[in-house]
């Protein structure tokens, strides 16, 4: 078996024929071009030193496929307004890469830059204070003080004080000590004999905040003096409170400085918090540690909070997030996800609120909260399709009967056929929304010859609270019907051929994808799904958001029905609402992309559905990413996912 045929066969990827390999090669080159596009993660604007125009600093990231990480860069620009009111960006010649950096935050004036490099194994956390031309300070914080700084966009909070001498931030508490044992039994921590053989026990199991937070310690609040590097945990905060999104309150002459932060109480159980805005939270104010300078250097003054307890600023509202002070320091503004908390829906319409900040520094838990904007609605910028509701057979409020919307994207690659093949793209959540902004992944699919129908079915954000709240209790029917109506709408308009339609979605979009190929088995030529919710009865006992199953299956009353021990009646309903109940009717070739570390939708729920299809002879392909969680967002995994999606759809729709 050493001939040329055998040799060339071994060089081909397992399970891929010559035609498919050619598709992989051509599509992978194109996908690499899209993948290589950099993204602006954050931007800051400062006054220019010259007084003319402004200075801007951008934090940019770019996937590095070979390293399976994201490169981070800083790019600066001088921004000028021209005489014709156009804006001119005078860019620095090149961006500067920030290797090994987890967080970058400039000071309010732009004169200093905080750079944080998180620890590896037992090494300390590294803080660098950069000036205009050099690193001015470097501090190493041992893990006995705290672990990694939170940089996830949820608990993350890093804030400079007004005179740029102190930095408040959120980091992992030190790992709790664990019991030690020897051959003689328990080893007392005061024992002087360290030569005896011993082992460390596991200690108490501690709950985590679910998806993406596995292995992370409690989020706690710290303050660093950048002159001395002295770091102190903020006192007075209950251990049951996870903190995040910290900001400095405006300074008051002759009074202590305060920090305002968001606090999440763990309650009876820490349910999954990533993407879940329905977790109750509040804004708190706490006295910051007081640093004083002496002749021989800075020193931390006693920061006891026994006489100044933590103040809950938002007791009258169930949710308060993303606090910001007005430039004059007179007002504290924040968003609230109270609609999500009160209804149980994981993401609903947010509202904007304001608090008068006491200029005398005397805080009160009975501060009046003023509603500024009761409902923040998305405003789509591009021409979209209005899809009328069809066959309304149950009671709906007026807002839930209005047309929903879908974004139709035409392919740039025109074929000889009247209509290019259509990919129906379905977002997850379900209570999020697909925007008309640029998506590298969808642009790639469009560029290889597909039209896109991006459906914002009822339950999506941006179309009013009544439309959003109409979906819980009706998943698997209302959302499925909305997608089918949208597909028929574009077919009737002559924009799609009934024989060349594929469907793609992840999470709840995967729930819809697998429902659609079961409920409308002759509608789709191909399907692909990432971490789909295929079986709520199986999911409810293993996910970090079991309450989601109840609220979406039962409606808002499911919040009160929720239990950790589902009854047979509950499990029956979950099964009836699930795609698995329609799996026997599926004919559509389906690609499954599953993250093995997914806590939100454990991968075996999708695997069960895939195996059910395979058993009845439906073409199935399964790719499991061993180190990915729910989002499957590691650069290599994301690349391989969309390459396989492109090749899979080309195979069955060409």
Cα 571 to Cα 238, 516, 556, 562, distances in angstroms: 37, 21, 18, 12
Question: CA 295, CA 291: separation in Å to the nearest integer?
Answer: 13
Q: What is the distance in angstroms between the CA of the first residue and the CA of the last residue of the chain?
A: 35
Q: Active-site residue among 479, 482, 547, 598?
A: 598
Tell me if 505 sits within 8 A of 512, measured CB to CB. Answer: yes
CA atoms in the 13 A half-sphere facing the CB of 4: 0
Which residue in the list 77, 343, 441, 507 is annotated as catalytic? 507
Residue entry with tokens 């396989």: 644
- Give the C-alpha separation, 258 to 244, whole Å: 15
Active site residue 356: no
Distance between CA atoms of residues 344 and 547, nearest Å? 8
Of the candidates 427, 508, 515, 630, the residue annotated as catalytic is: 630
d(CA 529, CA 641): 10
Burial (0-12, 13-18, 19+ Cβ within 10 Å), 206: exposed
Q: Give CA torsion, residues 591, 597, 599, 603, to 10 deg.
A: 30
Active site residue 437: no
Instruction: Say how far apart CA 339 and CA 24 lie, in whole Å.
Output: 45
- Detail the DSSP E strand segments found in 417-456: 422-426, 451-456
Q: Please say if 159 is a catalytic residue.
A: no
How far apart are the C-alpha atoms of 315 and 325, rounded to whole Å?
19
Residue 509: its H or E element = helix 508-519
Catalytic residue numbers, as ranges:
507, 598, 630
């Amino acid at each position: 078996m050493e001939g040329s045929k055998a040799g060339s066969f071994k060089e081909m990827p397992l399970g891929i024929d010559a035609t498919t390999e050619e598709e992989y090669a051509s599509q992978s080159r194109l996908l690499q071009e899209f993948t290589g596009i950099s993204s602006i993660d954050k931007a800051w604007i400062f006054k220019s030193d010259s007084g003319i125009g402004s200075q801007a600093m951008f934090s940019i990231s770019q996937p590095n496929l070979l390293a399976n990480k994201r490169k981070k860069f800083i790019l600066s620009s001088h921004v000028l307004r021209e005489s014709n009111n156009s804006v001119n960006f005078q860019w620095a010649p090149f961006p500067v890469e920030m290797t090994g950096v987890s967080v970058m935050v400039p000071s309010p004036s732009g004169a200093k830059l905080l750079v944080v490099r998180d620890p590896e194994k037992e090494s300390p956390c590294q803080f660098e204070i950069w000036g205009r031309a050099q690193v001015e300070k470097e501090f190493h914080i041992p893990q006995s003080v705290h672990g990694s700084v939170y940089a996830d966009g949820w608990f993350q909070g890093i804030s400079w004080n007004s005179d740029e001498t102190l930095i408040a931030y959120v980091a992992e508490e030190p790992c709790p000590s664990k019991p030690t044992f020897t051959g003689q039994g328990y080893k007392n921590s005061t024992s002087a004999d360290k030569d005896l053989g011993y082992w460390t026990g596991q200690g108490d199991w501690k709950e985590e905040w679910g998806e993406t937070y596995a292995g992370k310690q409690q989020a706690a609040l710290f303050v660093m003096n950048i002159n001395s590097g002295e770091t102190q945990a903020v006192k007075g905060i209950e251990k049951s409170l996870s903190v995040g999104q910290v900001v400095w309150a405006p300074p008051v002459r002759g009074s202590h400085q305060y920090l305002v932060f968001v606090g999440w109480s763990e309650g009876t159980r820490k349910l999954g918090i990533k993407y879940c805005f329905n977790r109750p939270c509040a804004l708190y104010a706490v006295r910051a540690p007081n640093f004083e300078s002496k002749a021989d250097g800075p020193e931390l003054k006693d920061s006891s909070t026994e006489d100044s307890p933590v103040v809950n600023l938002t007791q009258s509202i169930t949710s308060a997030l993303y606090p910001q002070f007005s430039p004059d320091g007179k007002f504290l503004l924040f968003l609230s996800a109270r609609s999500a908390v009160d209804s149980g829906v994981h993401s609903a319409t947010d509202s904007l609120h304001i608090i008068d900040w006491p200029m005398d520094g005397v805080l009160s838990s009975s501060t009046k909260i003023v509603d500024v904007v009761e409902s923040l609605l998305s405003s789509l910028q591009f021409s979209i399709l209005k899809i009328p509701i069809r066959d309304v057979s149950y009671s709906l409020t007026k807002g839930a009967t209005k047309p929903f919307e879908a974004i139709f994207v035409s392919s740039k690659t025109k074929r000889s056929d009247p209509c290019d093949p259509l990919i129906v793209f379905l977002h997850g959540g379900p209570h999020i929304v697909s925007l008309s902004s640029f998506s590298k992944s969808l642009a790639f699919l469009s560029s290889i010859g597909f039209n896109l129908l991006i459906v914002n079915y009822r339950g999506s954000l941006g179309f009013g609270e009544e439309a959003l709240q109409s979906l819980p209790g009706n998943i698997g029917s209302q959302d499925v019907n909305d997608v089918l109506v949208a597909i028929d709408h574009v077919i009737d308009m002559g924009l799609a051929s009934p024989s060349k339609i594929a469907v793609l979605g992840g999470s709840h979009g995967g729930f819809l994808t697998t429902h659609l190929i079961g409920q409308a088995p002759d509608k789709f030529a191909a399907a692909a799904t990432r971490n789909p919710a295929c079986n709520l009865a199986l999911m409810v006992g293993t996910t970090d958001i079991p309450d989601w199953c109840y609220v979406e299956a039962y409606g808002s009353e499911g919040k009160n029905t929720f239990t950790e021990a589902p009854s047979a009646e509950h499990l029956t309903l979950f099964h009836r609402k699930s795609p698995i109940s329609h799996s026997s009717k599926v004919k559509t070739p389906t690609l499954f992309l599953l993250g093995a570390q997914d806590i939100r939708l454990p991968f075996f729920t999708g695997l069960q559905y895939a195996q059910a299809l395979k058993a009845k002879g439906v073409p199935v392909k399964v790719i499991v990413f061993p180190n990915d969680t729910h989002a499957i967002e590691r650069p290599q995994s994301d690349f391989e996912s969309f390459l396989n999606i492109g090749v899979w759809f080309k195979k069955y729709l060409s």
